[in-house]
Amino acid sequence: MANSRELEDLLRRSFVDRKLTRDERREFDRLFEGSDPDPNVRDRLLALAFGLFREGLTDPESLQASEWLKRVVRATLPKVEPQDSASGADVGADVAEACFSERHDCAERVVKLLDGARGSLDICVFTITHDDISDAILRAVTRGVAIRLISDDLKATDTGSDIDRLRHAGVAVRVDRSPYHMHHKFAIFDRNVLLNGSFNWTRGAAMNNAENFVLLSDRRLLDQFQHEFELLWEAWK
């Protein structure tokens, strides 16, 4: 565990640009050495953070200062790993799990679920630009998993979008035909596990945004989302 002076120095350095970057977050983790912060050290650290924040409110970058403070508070919270209740989409598994970006590796969890799929994948997401996730979908293609993908028509043509790459690899793809966005972010793995939440399948969501998703095996919810997927799939032939 680092001493309070090291942590305070890191805090002051990070406040210069009003951002707690991913590298600075890793430095917090290193200094805390994976343990829960000592309450006294944490209190001093947060007192300094709030003091710097109050000073920052007097300048034009106060909004960035607010975001900086939020990330600092998160960095000092005890680390909680998501419950790995099902590595893939195990039949009969009782799944109830939450994943929060910045505290959990949400992209890695999605990849693990995709790699665990054996029969089917029904994916309905706004956009896909995260190459690790796309690569996992392509691995599922080679395993013979039946994959259907619904995405937003405008986002599918964005620079960095992997939709065409997946389509050319054999994934069945449909996009909305609407002036509005297809903004869902849900997926059904082997018709046994539902993923649903704000988390976009992008590197920005994984590395920068405050996002979440939940995994559930509740049949009542699964059936409702499966029904919605079928409706959208048929609507956008």
Confidence check: pLDDT of 68 > 50? yes
The whole model's pTM is what? 0.66
Question: 190, 218, 223, 237: which is the annotated catalytic residue?
Answer: 190
Give 89-104 pLDDT, tens digit per residue.
Answer: 444 568 999 999 878 8
Interaxial angle between packed helices 106-116 and 131-142, expressed in degrees from 0 to 180 and rounded to the nearest 10: 0
Question: 152, 185, 227, 237: which is the annotated catalytic residue?
Answer: 185
- Interatomic CA distance for residues 202 and 141, integer angstroms: 20
Mean pLDDT of all residues in 108-121: 96
Give 171-215 pLDDT, tens digit per residue.
Answer: 999 999 888 999 999 999 999 999 999 999 998 898 888 999 999
Confidence check: pLDDT of 157 > 70? yes
The answer to whether residue 23 is catalytic is no
Q: If residue 150 lies in a helix (H) or strand (E), which one and from where to where?
A: strand 146-151
- Residue 191, exposed/middle/buried by CB under 10 A (0-12, 13-18, 19+)? middle
The 8-class DSSP code of residue 79 comes to P
The answer to whether residue 181 is catalytic is no
Q: What is the DSSP string of 27-52?
A: HHHHHHTTSPPPHHHHHHHHHHHHHH
Question: 19, 70, 112, 183: which is the annotated catalytic residue?
Answer: 183
- Interatomic CA distance for residues 161 and 166, integer angstroms: 10
pLDDT of residue 44: 73
Give 24-54 pLDDT, tens digit per residue.
Answer: 877 877 776 655 556 666 677 777 777 777 7
- Interatomic CA distance for residues 216 and 98, integer angstroms: 9
pLDDT of residue 91: 44
Residue 151 near residue 178, CB atoms below 8 Å? no
The answer to whether residue 237 is catalytic is no
Residue 86 near residue 190, CB atoms below 8 Å? no
Q: If residue 168 lies in a helix (H) or strand (E), which one and from where to where?
A: helix 163-168
Amino acid at 217: S
Residues 97-113 as b or e (16 or more Cβ within 10 Å = b): bebbbbbbbbbebbbeb
**What's the whole-number average pLDDT of the chain?**
84
